[in-house]
Amino acid sequence: MSTSAPTQAPQRKLTTSAMIASIAEEGQRTTKAPFGHALARLAEERPDIVGLSADLAKYTDMHVFRDAHPDRFFQMGMAEQVMLGAAAGLAEVGLTPFASTYSVFATRRAYDFLCLDIAEPRLNVNVVGALPGLTTGYGPSHQATEDLAILRGMPGLTIVDPADSVDIEQAVPALAAHPGPTYMRLLRGAVPTVLDEYDYRFELGKAAQLRDGRDVLFISTGLMTVRALTAAQELAHDHVDVAVLHVPTIKPFDREAVLREAAKGRLVVTLENHSVVGGLAESVASCLAFARQTAHIVPIGLPDEFLAAGALPTLHDRYGLSVAAIKERVRRAL
């Protein structure tokens, strides 16, 4: 009598976290498309608000605004330079544009248009860049690991790197009210909701002390603030007391807050979803150097290289952005 081998359940195929991946941890509270909903709400109050997209409305959450205000949305196609030029024209006639695309296209491909059409005449155009840093597994063509470094030298440009949905929702009206050009790094899709637990309020140009600690000072920006808070809570179990200073505005930089907190004699750890070249770490270091103030600084950020493609959790571990990697780096430094 012949017997057949027991059938095995098919293994789940592993997939990469790519274009539309969420950076939320398992079990973390999230808010769906906070940018799109915040912009749509703001447009209810302000008829001057308009939206533009370079064929990426769905992937920058601009589709929420498009569906709510179709007569105030402009689809520019795969033409980022044209989109920024058109946004400049809309601002010239008194409208307040929000132009969304991927960060790599807004910075690498359309830099000259952002610089001369928007920043030089000081127009109120708000550029929104999705997939900043290592928030996609699609490799260097889509990973904007150097966008802050590219833009920090542009005169008059305000640069914001929000941490979560709360930051984004509060930043949108603040950017619209700001008279000059802005660039915001966008977290899209299911975005973590964390800062509401810390009595937080976004204020353009200001850092926020989220927790205090005697041993280590985390100075963080963007999604790394959420990781910093988790790492600080877990390091407390090892009797390491960690303070967290969130820096949502990269430019103008809150020098006073950084100098004040760095002067307290703690290990200073900078955390950013960006290359260690030209971003938060160098902003902190130059701030201290020009003030003739010293501190032991440990930079946590992306290496000065083109990154690999793959699954985001694997890449975040590999390049040191995961909570586990942050804790290990702190232990070694201490």
Tens of pLDDT, residue by residue over 157-216, are 999 999 999 999 999 999 999 999 999 999 999 999 999 999 999 999 999 999 999 999
pLDDT mean over 62-75:
98
Position 21 confidence tier, pLDDT thresholds 50, 70, 90:
low
Determine the residue type at 253: F
At residue 307, the pLDDT reads: 97
pLDDT digits (tens, 9 = 90+) for 310-321: 999 999 999 999
The tokens describing 226, both together, are: 């959420």
Task: Find the mean pLDDT for residues 306-311.
Answer: 95
- pLDDT of 6 above 50: no
Number of other residues whose CB lies within 10 A of the CB of residue 81: 17
Q: What is the pLDDT of residue 157?
A: 98
pLDDT score of 49 more than 80:
yes
Q: How confident is the model at residue 23 (pLDDT cuts 50, 70, 90)?
A: confident
Rounded average pLDDT over 267-294? 98
Task: Give the pLDDT mean for 76-104.
Answer: 98
CA distance 26 to 31: 14
- The mean pLDDT value for 41-68 works out to 98
pLDDT in tens, 214-259: 999 999 999 999 999 999 999 999 999 999 999 999 999 999 999 9
Is the model's pLDDT at 64 over the cut of 60? Answer: yes
Distances (CA, A) of 104 to 164, 272, 280: 21, 17, 18
Arithmetic mean of pLDDT, 258-262: 98
- Amino acid 119: pLDDT: 98
Mean pLDDT across 107-118: 98
Give me the chain's average pLDDT, please: 94
pLDDT at 77: 96
Strand partners, 130: 102, 186
Sequence-separated (6 or more) residues with CB below 8 Å from residue 299 = 269, 270, 276, 281
- Tell me: pLDDT of 15 over 50: no
**DSSP assignment letter at 321:** -
Q: Of 215, 163, 180, 184, nearest to 61 (Cα)?
A: 184
Say yes or no to pLDDT of 12 above 80: no
Element (H, E) at 283: helix 280-290
Q: Please give the pLDDT value at position 22.
A: 73
User: Sign of torsion, CA 94 204 148 195?
Assistant: negative
Determine which of 6-15, 157-166, 293-302 has the lowest per-residue pLDDT on average: 6-15
